[in-house]
Amino acid sequence: MSEFNPHSLDEDEFLEEVHSVDFWFHAVDGYLRDRTYGRIEGASHPDLDDTDRDNLITTLCNYCIGETAALEASSGLISIAPNRHSKIFLATQVVDEARHLEVFLRRLRDLGVEDPESEISVRANPHLVAFKDRLMELVAGHDWDAAVFAQNVVLETMEYTAFRAHMSTADPATAEVLDGVVKDERRHLGFGENDLGRRLMAMPEKRQRLAEIRRELDNLVLATFEEVQDSLGADRSRRVDLGSEYLDAIERLGLT
Amino acid sequence: MADFLSQYSIQRWLEMCPQGYLEDTVYGHSPELKEPDIVVDNELLREESIRTTVQLVVGERCALAASSGLVNAAPDFPSKRFLATQTLDEARHVEICTRRLFDLGVKEEDLESTIDDFVNPNLVKFAEVLLEKVSDGDFIAGVVGQNIVLEGMAFSVFEMLEAVSKQGNPKFAETLSGTIADERRHVGFGENRIGSLIREHPERKADVEKMQAEMTYHMLATFSDSFRGNRAAVEETRAIAVAEGAEADTAEWHGTDLASASPEDMEAVLADTVLGEFKTRLNRIGLEYQSPPVPA
């Protein structure tokens, strides 16, 4: 029997299928079934030295800020979503984002952080906090196009870029956790690209507004990358150029 | 509190729900099951099934809007996390109930107009009372309205419909069974989380009890319309369904045989059951049930 390919469906059937809870159940089952809190059961990994552990705590605290933003924004977007497919998709995203927060908080506890919430506020990058505030402003203003762009394109691209780069250098336990998260983010990014692509085709005049939002948010994303890498003490000449990777990824989407 | 909230992790939800009682289902039921031919082919039965399902869609849309809207108002991460799972549960309920409308022959392009035509206006008012609290960011009232009142009502309505459908419409009964399992979890959260918040904020009791009375008023009016307003259709529908085997010969629920009970008796057993549950659950969280005026 040939494998089911949702891209063979017409547009309405595609949305009905791909933005369904049933589709989500099957999608996450493939990579979460044998994992507990994002970790492969029974796997044990060596402890980190103090510097690596402290750097990882800083990184994870900032991941938690990004995921909290995504959880609050995606849940807030449900009430303003223009159709039932989008509402259903966003509901699956809400639980994904809550899971990401859960697995990162769990990892922080594994690393010995007893009160992750306090630690997060101490180590929060101010540009990332500003990004979160701006995103929530767009959601509260019921600005669907701008909020979906900020969340499902800009934030998701930022996270995707950072998580993928981190996966290649992370300790095995953190890499396992990031692996499942990255797979979710790809789905979220797909929704943003698809929804906005469709709307921009019907209303090209919206492109200008998204370009303005992008200019504003790009600065916060790039500043976040720089400052977090500075705080980790990474040698500038040996850093992964997250900013360029992020800008290239956003540009490739062709939405602005 | 921490111990009880740890029971509501995403990990546990994944194991219990998609990897548990929903495993191997498609839109909430076994893949081989479908709506019985009699329900789809008989116009009266089909219309009554659409009418019933529309109320479920509207109730579940309200629950989706409320649970997602409450995530931002939740005072702690464990509550946000639970509400995230509830958001997905409610979206799934919207999806499977909508899917049932399509299975009953409603066309995608007619979905919203069908809902507008069949929805009970009292149910809309019921939803509006709750969603006003949610949009005000009132977490305590929102959770009581959603997880005690709305879910308490839905739980009993689903149980009743499941009892009626078990024999004649296993597809619908299975769909309801998974939904009931979800609702049980939601009601449990409401009771456990809000009890401590009410103790911390006793000044909120009067306002929350007022909301409960208002919601109860609209709920009872919805029940009254559903059972009595279309009595002829209900009785004829039930007679056809029993004759054609699409409904149980007997369907015992809370001491009443739903297959032979009059619409008034069915309304009475549903209202008594739901109100009994309200009283018990509200009492557990330190609130006193407020009787609404009896609907005209």
Q: Is the pLDDT of residue B114 over 80?
A: yes
- What integer pLDDT is reported at residue A114 of this predicted model? 94
**Under a CB-based contact definition with an 8 Å cutoff, are residues A162 and A60 in contact?**
no
Contact check, Cβ <8 Å, B108/A101: no
Q: Which H helix or E strand runs over B253?
A: strand B252-253
**Average pLDDT, stretch A237-255?**
84
What pTM, to 2 d.p., does this model score? 0.92
Instruction: Reply yes or no on whether the pLDDT at B248 is more than 70.
Output: no
Question: What is the structure's pLDDT at A192?
Answer: 92
Check CB contact of A72 with chain B, cutoff 8 Å: yes
Name the CATH superfamily housing domain B2-13+33-284. Ribonucleotide Reductase, subunit A (1.10.620.20)
A43 touches chain B (CB under 8 A): no
Kindly report, residue by residue over A137-170, the tens digit of the pLDDT. Answer: 999 999 999 999 999 999 999 999 999 989 988 9
Tell me which of A167-171, A216-220, B30-34 is least confident: A167-171
Inter-chain residue contact B91 with A88, CB threshold 8 Å? yes
Which tokens in the block code for residue A227? Answer: 């400052």
CB contact set of B107 (below 8 Å; sequence gap of 6+): none
Q: According to the model, what pLDDT value does residue A238 have?
A: 67
Question: Is the Cβ–Cβ distance between B87 and B67 less than 8 Å?
Answer: yes
Question: What does the alpha-carbon distance between residue A157 and residue A87 come to, in Å, rounded to a whole number?
Answer: 21
User: How much is the mean pLDDT over chain B?
Assistant: 91
Averaged pLDDT, A220-237: 84
For residue A62, the model assigns a pLDDT of 96
- Determine which of A17, A19, A22 to mutate to test the interface with B (most B C-beta atoms within 10 Å): A22
| Whether residue B155 has pLDDT greater than 60 | yes
- Structural tokens at position B99: 């899917």
Q: Provide the domain count of chain A.
A: 1
pLDDT bucket at A1, cuts 50 / 70 / 90: very low
With CA atoms as reference, the chain A residue closest to B11 would be A37
Helices (H), B17-42: 37-41
In this structure, which amino acid lies at residue A96? D
Using the Cβ of B72 and the Cβ atoms of chain A, whether some distance falls under 8 Å is answered with: yes
Of B48, B52, B43, B47, the residue nearest B223 (C-alpha): B52
CB distance B153 to B274 below 8 Å? yes
Q: Average pLDDT over chain A, rounded to whole?
A: 90
Q: Sketch the domain layout of chain B as residue ranges.
A: 2-13+33-284
Q: Inspect the interface and report whether the beta carbons of A22 and B65 lie closer than 8 Å.
A: no
CATH, residue A131: 1.20.1260.10
Is A188 within a domain? Answer: yes
Asked if B8 contacts B194 with a C-beta cutoff of 8 angstroms, the reply is no
**pLDDT tens profile A169-213:** 899 999 999 999 999 999 999 999 989 998 898 999 999 999 999
A88 CA to centre of own chain: 18
The arithmetic mean of pLDDT across residues B67-91, rounded, is 94
**Chain A contact present for B71, CB below 8 A:** yes
DSSP category for residue A48: P
Q: What is the mean pLDDT of residues A15-36?
A: 85
Identify the pLDDT of residue B246.
63
Yes or no, beta carbons of B14 and A28 under 8 Å apart: yes
Euclidean distance between CA atoms A194 and A11, whole angstroms: 11
How far away is chain A from the Cα of B83, in angstroms, using its nearest Cα?
9
The answer to which of A71-80, B31-40, B258-267 has the lowest mean pLDDT is B258-267
Q: How confident is the model at residue B269 (pLDDT cuts 50, 70, 90)?
A: very high
On whether any CB of chain A is under 8 Å from the CB of B5, the answer is no
Please report the pLDDT score of residue A255 as a whole number: 81
Per-residue tokens: B31: 């893949």
Could A95 and B88 be called an inter-chain contact, meaning their C-beta atoms sit closer than 8 Å? yes
**B150, two tokens:** 């709305």
Separation CA B44–CA B104 (nearest Å): 12
- What would the two tokens of residue B210 be? 């007022």
The two three-digit tokens of residue A246, written as one number: 């992020």
Least confident among A33-42, B155-164, B169-178, B224-233: B224-233
Nearest to B71 among A36, A71, A105 (CB): A71
Q: Which tokens belong to B168?
A: 């004649």
Residue B183 one-letter amino acid = E
Asked if the structure places residue A192 within a domain, the reply is yes
Q: Does A64 touch chain B (CB under 8 A)?
A: no
Rounded Cα distance, B119 and A16, in Å: 23
Q: Is the pLDDT of residue B44 over 70?
A: yes
A116 has a pLDDT exceeding 90: yes
Give the model's pLDDT for residue A10. Answer: 73
pLDDT of B148 above 90: yes
A62: containing domain = 47-253
A92 is a domain residue: yes
Is the CB of residue B80 less than 8 Å away from at least one CB of chain A? yes
What percent of chain B is modeled with pLDDT above 70?
95
User: What single DSSP character describes residue B137?
Assistant: T
The beta-strand segments (E) located in B167-231 are: none
CB atoms within 10 A of CB A122: 10
B56 membership: H or E segment, kind and range: helix B43-71
Q: How far is B95 from A15, CA to CA, in rounded Å?
A: 13
Tokens read off for B203 = 């000044």
Size of interface A-B (CB pairs under 8 A): 93
How high is the pLDDT of residue A4?
A: 60
B27 token code pair: 């839109």
| Per-residue pLDDT band at B3 (split at 50, 70, 90) | low
Please tell me the predicted confidence (pLDDT) of residue B221.
94
- What integer is the mean pLDDT of A119-136? 96
Cβ–Cβ < 8 Å for B258, B266: yes
- Domain assignment present for A14: no
Q: What is the mean pLDDT of residues B108-123?
A: 97
- Give how far A48 is from chain B: nearest CA, Å: 25
What number is the average pLDDT over the span B103-112? 96
In a domain, A23, yes or no: no
**CB–CB of A91 and B88 under 8 A?**
yes
Identify whether the C-beta of residue B145 lies closer than 8 Å to the C-beta of residue B66. yes
- Over residues B171-216, the pLDDT tens digits come to 999 999 999 999 888 888 888 888 889 999 999 999 999 999 999 9
Let me know: does A151 contact A193? Beta carbons within 8 Å.
no
Beta carbons of A244 and A237 less than 8 angstroms apart: no
Give the containing element (helix H, strand E) for A183: helix A172-202
Q: Do A32 and B14 touch (CB under 8 A)?
A: yes
Domain assignment of residue A162, yes or no: yes
Q: Which two tokens stand for residue B220?
A: 């009872």
Chain A: closest CA distance from residue B26 (Å)? 7
Gap from B110 CA to chain A (nearest CA, Å): 14
CB B214, CB B147: distance < 8 Å: no
pLDDT tier at A97, thresholds 50, 70, 90: very high
- Which range has the top average pLDDT, A40-44, A184-188, A236-240? A184-188
Of residues B170 and B295, more confidently modeled: B170
